[in-house]
Amino acid sequence: MLKKLWDVLGGILAIVLVVTYALLILNANFAFISGDFLKTLDIIRTYGSLALIGIVGLEAVSRRCLIIKIIYLLLCAIIVIFLFFPDTYQNLIGAIA
């Protein structure tokens, strides 16, 4: 049941991202989009790609054991932390180097 939900959400998001990328590529050549709509497309491109990765991954681990699900969710959490707190990455590199 849950796998089917992730499948439908992933399909919808994939279609939205294909349309978004097509519009952005066309706009790069012909410059017919500007202002807030262009900013919205950029946001969809950035966060939609990450959301699609998350949804497809959740679909993949939906029937796996609990340990695999926890590992996947932890990796997703790391990505989100680095996305919203870019200084964390610099601190991590500084601690390693």
Residues 51 and 80 in one domain: no
Residues 48 and 85 in one domain: no
**The predicted structure's pLDDT at residue 97:** 58
Give the mean pLDDT per block of 10 residues along the chain (97 residues).
Answer: 82 94 93 89 88 89 89 89 74 70
Residues 42 and 27 in one domain: yes
Residues 72 and 45 in one domain: no
**The predicted structure's pLDDT at residue 17:** 95
How many structural domains is the chain composed of? 2
**The predicted structure's pLDDT at residue 89:** 66
Q: pTM to 2 decimals?
A: 0.72
* Amino acid type, 16: V
- And the tokens for 83? 């996305």
Residues 52 and 70 in one domain: no
Give whole-number Cα distances, 35 to 27, 31, 38, 41, 42, in Å: 12, 11, 6, 10, 11
Residues 72 and 57 in one domain: no
Residues 19 and 41 in one domain: yes
Residues 73 and 59 in one domain: no
Residues 5 and 45 in one domain: yes
Provide the residue range defining the domain that includes 18.
1-63
